[in-house]
Each structure stands twice: as C-alpha cells, then as structure tokens.
Structure 1
Amino acid sequence: MNTGTNHINPFDKLCGSAGLASGTAILGVLLATVALAFLLVKMKVAGAVLLLALFFGGIYAYALFKHPILGFYSAIVLNFVILGSTRYVKFPFPVGFVMDGILVLSFLALIFSRFRERVDWSPAGKPVTFLAVLWLGYFIFQLMNPEARSTEAWIAGRSTGFHFLFVVVLTLMFMDSNKRLDTFLYIWGVFSILASFKGMGQLFFGVDAAEQAWLDGGAAQTHVLFGKLRIFGFYTDAGNYGANQGYSAVVALIYAMTKKGRAKIFFITVGVLGLYGMLISGTRGAIAVPFIGFMTFFVLRKNIKVLTAGVLFVALVFVFFKFTTIGNGNDQIRRMRTGFDPNNPSLMVRKKNQAILKTYLASRPFGGGVGHGGDKAQRFLPHAFLSHVATDSWYVMIWVEMGIVGLVLHLIILFYVIGTASFKVMFRIRDPITKLRMSALIAGMAGVMVASYGNEVLGQMPNSLLIYATMAIISVPEIFERPKEDYLPKPIEK
C-alpha cells in the first residue's frame, strides 16, 4: 500500500470562497483591508481617487493585454483630448508621456498576447515602415548635431520622431479589415462632433473658467482679435482646431459616399459641423484643407465631368473670398477672406522671418537641433537666437530644427506615401468602395500637408496621429478591397 502523498484526492482541494477558510488567506484579507483603510484615512479624497484609479487601471490593463487593439483605439481617443486637458488638470509630469505610455503598452500587449507563439510582424514589413525607421534614425542622429545645446529640448520634441514609427507599425498590425477601419473612422467622427459642439458652446455662451484663465495667461493675444474670440474647442489653439475641423470634414464627407442610412447621416453630420468649426476658428490657413482636399479627390476620381464640376465649384468659392465683399458683416468670413490677400501683414512677417532663418541656416545643413526652434524653445534656451524667431509653419519648423537635410527627407517621405497611394487608387484598385475610402484619407492628408505651410498642424495632436495612421492605411489599400463578386455586375440570366 502506497503511504506517500499520492493518496491525496485532487478533488479535495479548496477553491473559490472556501479558500478563505485557511488562516493565511484570512490574514492576507485583513492586512489588505487595514492597508486600504489606512490609505483612505491618511490621503482622504486623494486616497479614494488613487484606489479607483488602481481598480479601473487594472481592469483596463487586463482588457488591453487580452485585446491589444484597444491600445490603438485608446491612443486615437487621447490624441483628441490629452493636450487640451492641461487647462483643467495640472499634471505632475509632461502630459505627452501618457501618450508614449499608451503606445509602448500597446506594443507590449501585442507581444504578450501572442507570447506562446511568435508574433507575425509581416503586416508591418512595408515601405512606409522603412521610411519611418529612416526618419527615426535621422531624428536620433540629431543628438549629435553640433548646433544642439539641450538634450531636454530633444526629449520634449520626441514625438516628431517616435510617434511616426509607433503609430505606423500599430496601424499596419491592427487595421486589417474594413470593420476595423470603420471603427477608427467612427471614433474620429465622434470626437470631431464633440469638438464642433464645444466650439459652438464657446462661440454662443463664452468660455469656462479654466479657458478664461488660459486666455488671461497670454493666449488672448492670439485668440481674441478686435474683441472677437477665435474658437479653439478642447484643442491646443485655434489654428490646430480649425485645421483639424477642416481635415475631419473632408474625410467624413467623402467617406459618407461609401455608406447608407444612419451611417451616411453620421458622416455627413461630421463633415458639415467640421466645415462650420473650421469657419468659426478664424484660422485663415485652415481653408486650404477643404480646397486642396476636394481638388485632390476630384483628380483621384479620373472623371472629366466630376473634375470639371469640382474645379468650377472650387473656383467659385475662390472668387467669393478673393474678389467679393459678400458676407463681410460676419467676423469669421471677413477673417477667412484676409487669407487670400497676398499683402496680408501676417504673411509679410512670416516671409521676413523666413528670410532671416535662411541666412542663419545657410551654413547649418542639419539645423539648429530638435526642440530648438520657435517660442517653445524658450523654456530650455531662453537666450538662443532660434528661440526668438517664430517658425509658424510646420515645414519651416522642420527646416529650422533638422536642417535642409531633414526637410528634404521629410518631404520625400510625405510625397512618396501620398504619391504611391494615389497611383494605386487610380490604376490598381478596382473596388469602387475601396477607391472612395482611400480617396477620403488621401484627400484629407493632402489638405493638411498644404495647410501645414501656414501653421504647424501636421505635427500637432490630434492631426499627427491621424496623419500617421492614414499614411499606413493608404499604403496598403489592397487589404481593404472586397472580393470581385461583391462589386462586379451580376450576369443577366437568360
């Protein structure tokens, strides 16, 4: 007879609530209860908030590591609200680290969700990924730029290099079906509508206490002109708000052509509200987004009638703003109209600044260093020359900080991605719905690219992550093409 431990019945193990009968379990519960009570007594409200954060944070972490795509969607949501939230919450650390953390956690979740098998990275093995790696390599090389004086400034500007690669890879890994693409566009649309409503609230009812404090802190110089508020929603500023509203409008109105019923109404609503939000922002450069965006769409259609009608419509809008005074009683229309004036004082100042920078950068092909250009650099280099010359434009900012080498590389990447995507849509993709979906994203990106000459909108959230995700999606339009039987005409039965 075996007298060893093999006589133990495995079904006699305690489980569930019965496990609390053991002394060790009871002691553990008591210690945890005492610790929680002590935390609540000592920290009061802060302790309760901390406990709730740990509880919901644990639930989120569990869901994230089980469904890694949640991290991608979370990044898109944060992309809209994270910077504007600093008006209401004083974070003890740079708020950008939250976005960094979400992106890194998404990668870890992707790896650990497939821990028992090798992660198939082949979906991310695309030219756009190589370009993102090349750009990150040049960005890291900037640490050795002899003109750079502050590592802290480089860290502050890290999103310019790292977010591009992170978002491109995550998008290529996760955006592999039309259903997921729709989810991405619905999230985008919902927050665009919320931003539109927030902007209308500021226009009709005024700003709240936190926003007023922000204006009083210096923002009023650029956001209250001639006694009129430039609307900024819950974004960083009016320029960013106007460009993103126009961007959302272009993408949504074209994407609506692929939908029916309530979905179509939803995207049309996003588009109409987006155009209105762009108008009330008072951002003159933002008008380039729908102008260039819709022109790009008309070209992609390869239809002479559509192109002719589109060009005629855009020409009429141009004539309205350039050669008439209709609607000048409206503050927003009057300000938008100044964007068509080649002698506009603001434009003259920008050209003067660019002439100054051209002389300074002539002997500096790698630029002055990441984070060293414009007003933002005054936090790290208050007395540096570049800190006191406004960049205004996204491309001028890249030129100033990363030199002519960085600017040329950046433009090559943008035009390669949008050029190859346009070629595929025009000559390779046969599915008409996929053509429209990709055309919507290409048109929106083209509009933002042009508008970025007047404002630093391409690299600002929420535009930046949307552009990076768009670059990944339009690089592989064939993934979203439906089977031929879904769109080819059905043969007529005899």
Structure 2
Amino acid sequence: MSLLAEYLPAPNARDIKWAIIGTAAAIGVGVIIAVGQLFALAALIGLPILIGLAGICLTRPLAGLMIYFNINFFILGLSRFLPNAPYGLMIDLMLVLIFMGIFFTTKRTGEHRLRNPIFYLVLAWFMYTVLLFFNPLSQSQVVWFFAIRGLSLYWLLVVIAGFLLLDNPKHLYWLVSCWLFWSLLAALWSFKQYYIGLTPGEQQWLAEGGAKTHLLFGKQFRAFSFYSDAGQFGADMAHAALFCGIMVIESKSFARRLLFVVLAGVFFWGFAVAGTRGPLFIFFTGLPLYFIIKRNVPLIVVGFIALGMAFYVLKFTRIGQGNYQILRMRSALNLEDKSLEVRIVNQLILMDYLKDKPFGGGVGSGGDWGHRFAPDSFLGHVALDSWFVKIWVEGGVVGLIFHLLSLIAICIIAFRNISRLRNPLFKSTMIALYSGFAGILVASYGNQLFGQHPIDAEMYLTMVFFAICPKLDKMLPGPEQEQPRFSLF
C-alpha cells in the first residue's frame, strides 16, 4: 500500500465529486440501455450527434445544407434498422435550423439572388398548393400539413437555401462529388444484397410488405440498397450512370475518363439489379438531349445509331432473354406489358372520376396519405405510382398543366443559360446534369421520383445551378486558359 500511495496522490474534493458524478452517469446509462435496449443506446449515441448538427446548421448554414443533402441518401434506409425514429421530423427540423442560421449569419443583401424566374416558378407552385388547402373536396384538412412537404414545401425551402448559400463553382463540384460517392456506396451495398444476402432488418422489411414489390414471382429479388425502394434506387443509379457516361465523352485526360468509365459501369449494373424499368427512359431521354445540345454532327450520328441499335435489340429481338435484368429492361418497351395495361386502366378510371374536379381531390387525398387519413374515400385506395398522376389526383388537371408548364419553362431557362457557358469543365458538368434532370422528369411518369428522397434534393439544387450557372461561369477561366482541378473533376 505504501508503494501505491507514493505514486497515487490523495484524492481531493473535486476528484471525489467528479468520481461520484461519473459513477452515477455510468449507472444511469446502464439502466437506460437495460430498459430501452437498442433504441436507448441509439438515442444516447445519436443525441450528441444531433446537437452537433444543430450547432453546425445555426452557425454555418452552408455546411448544414451540404449535410442535409448527404443525409437524404440514407435517412430512409435507416428506418429498416431503427423503425420508430421520426425521420421526417428530423428533416423538417434541420431545414428550420438552416434557415435560422441563414437569418443570423448571412448578410441581408442576399435577397436579390431570389430575383430570377426559376425561383418565381417554384414559389408560384407552392402558392398553388397552399390554395389547395381550401379545396372543398378534400377528405381531410389535417393531411395537408403532412403531404405538402413532399409536394412543394421542401422544394421551395431547398431552392431558397440554395440561392442564398451557393455562390461558388466549388459548391457544384462538392455536391456532385458527394452524390457520386453515395451512389457508389449504394451500388456496392446493392451488390451485397443481391449476391451475398440481406441484413435482418432488410429481411424484416420485406416480410412486412416490401416483398410484394421487391420479390417478384416469389424469387426475383429487386435490390433497393439503403434507399426507400428499388424504384428510387434504380432511378438514381441510371441518373448517375448517365452523368458518368457523358463525362466519359467530355473528359480530356485518360485517367479521368477511365475513372468515369468504371463508375458508369458500376452504376449501370446497380440500375440493372434494381430490376426497375421506368428509369430506362432516363437514358433514352438524357442521351439524345445531350447529343442535340452538343451540336456535333458526328457525335449526333454515332450517338443516335448506338441508341437506335440498343432500342432495336431490346424491342425487336430476344437477345439476352435468359438474363432477368435484360428481360426487365425489355418489358419497359413492351406496350402489351400487363403492368402497363393495369396502369392505363387505373388512369382511365381516374380520368372519369376527376372529369368534373379541375382542382383534384386535395393534397394528400391519394396514395399512402389518403389511405391513412381517409381510408373510406375513393382516392384513399388509389395507388399513386407516378409523380404526375399524383399531381393530377391531388391538384387536378389545372395543377397538372401548371406543374408541367413550370417544369418545361425551367428546362428552357436552363438550356439557354447552359448554352452560354464558356468554361469547358463547368459546361460539361452542367450539360450532364441537365440531361439527367430531363431524364428524371420523363421517368417520373412511371414512378414517384421527383418528390422523394434523395432524388428530390438532387433536382432542387440542380435547378438552383441552372439559374446561377452564368454567374458562376464568370468566376472560372475561359476555354483558352488553364483549367482548375476539382476532386473527380
């Protein structure tokens, strides 16, 4: 004991106090974990992280916006491991904190950035959905407060934050690099699901209803990675594959071109194992648009010949018919496909129901929200498997026309702005994003892509760059000067 006493000083009152506090805290944590088990442990780990995120959003709103963009990729997938967490509320709170951070830290001279037609179009759509609150045909006014978020509120908030915070070309490259990083992780996780197996949480998700759409014919598995479903995952893979494919053509250095070739191949196979058909039109829309934008006659000729051959093989031959992934792609071009016939029949029924309802059945009247808040209504049993059908059902033919015209106007504005860019790398990146944006819009006819995570955040911030790209282009060297190096770019 004398030897120990020589090296261990006698404890003072402060040491004793902190020892008691530490012991009590350890006992308290142990009791909480013992009672609450996994959820309590996750809460104890997650609470400091949430406090840190709140601090970042309040003090550095640009970093908060970047974090929001990244969280969108995996937050819905977390529900398979922690099903009771309020993920939607977390997204809402994060956006509120970002706006508080903008209010407290950003100079009051930034409002002029909102004076552009794309913002006005988004604001007009939001105001239209606000007026739909007073739709007398709505079966529930309460559901409006829930359903408005994905329909227009997130769109407006993210666009405003983007206009006020994104003011450097590096911001574009950072966001694209983050998108490709998460897409690569998602593709690798889908390969793990497809070739190795699922986690217990993923198996439980399938058993609770996910198998209806992700285990076709009882045996054909559709990978969904850590996204909400295979439709979102497949669309994001197709979008990323299209982007990287275009960058292969646009890149000048061999190393960069090789990198994009590898990424395009990985993303395309991710799209294939998702087994979703609608996103095939991301390629058939985005690539022709890219060829036209480039105005390069040899590229247009070669590109359309290649696309025509791919279409011919899928539509008029049986090459690769024994491969399930090719079979699923081929069925997307089959006008006699049973699922397509069912969709058309459902839309004819909706057409008859909505013929005297120009403003639709109200926000949240169909799909999951309708089934939850108005299960006895006609629209409460309607599956909204298309973004534009959702707009039609909830906003009527007036809302659908307004929405389509707004998106077309955004595409026209973007085309005009991108055509005027000088910097080769920046212009190539914007062209690739524009082609993917148009492809997502077309593919949204077959799936609810546009308003769901993570594609919604990708689309909203892409719109911001459509508007501000001429200003950002002036910060970069022209085509005759040395180009900067940015991450993957």
TM bucket by the smaller chain? Answer: 0.7 to 0.9
SS at match of 1:81: coil
**Residue 360 of structure 2 is aligned to residue 371 of structure 1:** no
- Kept in 1, the 8 Å contact 2:313–2:319? The answer is yes
Matching residue within 162, 167, 170 for 2:161 = 170
Taking structure 1 as reference, are residues 49 and 218 closer, same or farther at Cα in structure 2, changes over 3 Å only? closer
Once the two structures are superposed, residues 388-411 of structure 1 have per-residue CA deviations (whole angstroms, 9 ceiling, x without a partner) of 233321111100011111111111
Q: Is the 8 A contact 1:177 1:479 kept in 2?
A: no
- Structure 1 residue runs without a partner (length 5+): 1-20
2:53–2:64: 8 Å Cα contact kept in structure 1?
no
Structure 1 residues 264 and 109 mapped into 2: Cα distance closer, same or farther (>3 Å)? farther
Q: Deviations over 1:64-120 (max 9, x none)?
A: 333211111111112111112111112253x21211111121111122224xx5352
For the Cα contact (< 8 Å) 2:423–2:477, is it kept in 1?
no
Q: 2:145 aligns with which of 155, 168, 175?
A: 155
Contact 1:374 1:386 in 2 (8 A): yes
Distance 1:127-1:36 versus aligned 2 partners, 3 A rule: farther
The one of 468, 479, 482 aligned to 1:476: 468
1:111/1:266 Cα in 2 relative to 1: closer, same or farther (>3 Å)? farther
Q: Per the alignment, in what secondary structure is the counterpart of residue 391 of structure 1?
A: coil
Residue of structure 1 in register with 2:82 after alignment: 89
- Which ranges of structure 2 fall in alignment gaps of 5 or more residues? 1-11, 483-489
Counterparts of 1:25-40 in structure 2, within 5 Å, are 36=25, 39-40=28-29
> Alpha carbon RMSD of aligned pairs, Å?
2.6
CA distance in 2, matches of 1:225, 1:54: 39
Aligned residues: 464
Corresponding residue of 1:221:
212
Task: Encode CA deviations 1:267-289: one digit per residue, 9 max, x unaligned.
Answer: 44332211111111111111001
Give the equivalent residue in structure 1 for 2:129: 139
Q: Residue 132 of structure 1 aligns to which amino acid in structure 2? A: V
From 310, 327, 339, the equivalent of 1:334 is 327
Checking the alignment, whether the CA contact within 8 Å between 1:293 and 1:443 is kept in structure 2 is yes
The within-5 A match list for 1:453-468 is: 453-468=445-460
Larger displacement relative to structure 2 (131-140 or 352-361): 131-140
2:377 partner letter:
A
Match of 1:194 in 2: 185
Q: What letter is aligned with 1:452?
A: S
Residue 123 of structure 1 aligns to a residue whose secondary structure is helix
Aligned ranges 1:255-266 → 2 under 5 Å: 255=247, 257-258=250-251, 260=253, 265-266=258-259
Secondary structure of residue in 2 paired with 1:390:
coil
Q: C-alpha separation between the residues in 2 aligned to 1:60 and 1:429?
A: 36
* Preserved contact between residue 417 and residue 466 of structure 2 (Cα < 8 Å): no
| Percent identical residues | 33
Where 1:486 maps in the other structure, the secondary structure is coil
Give the letter for the 1:450 counterpart: V
Partner of residue 231, structure 1: 223
Query: 1: distance between equivalents of 2:262 and 2:79?
Result: 29
2:395 to 402, 407, 421: 402
Which is higher, the Rg of structure 1 or of structure 2?
1
* Structure-2 residue corresponding to 1:211: 202
Matched, 1:275 2:265: no
TM-score scaled by length of structure 2: 0.88
Which residue of the partner structure matches residue 55 of structure 2? 62
1:212-236 superposed Cα distances (whole Å, 9 cap, x missing partner): 1111112212211231101111111
Q: Offset at 1:206?
A: 2.2
2:329 corresponds to 1:323: no
Question: Structure 2 CA distance, aligned partners of 1:437 and 1:472?
Answer: 14
Say which SS state the counterpart of residue 305 (structure 2) adopts.
helix
Distance 1:40 1:395 in 2: 49
Which residue of the other structure, out of 53, 65, 75, is the alignment partner of 1:72?
A: 65
Structure 2 counterpart of 1:394, one-letter code: W
Alignment pair present for 1:429 and 2:421:
yes
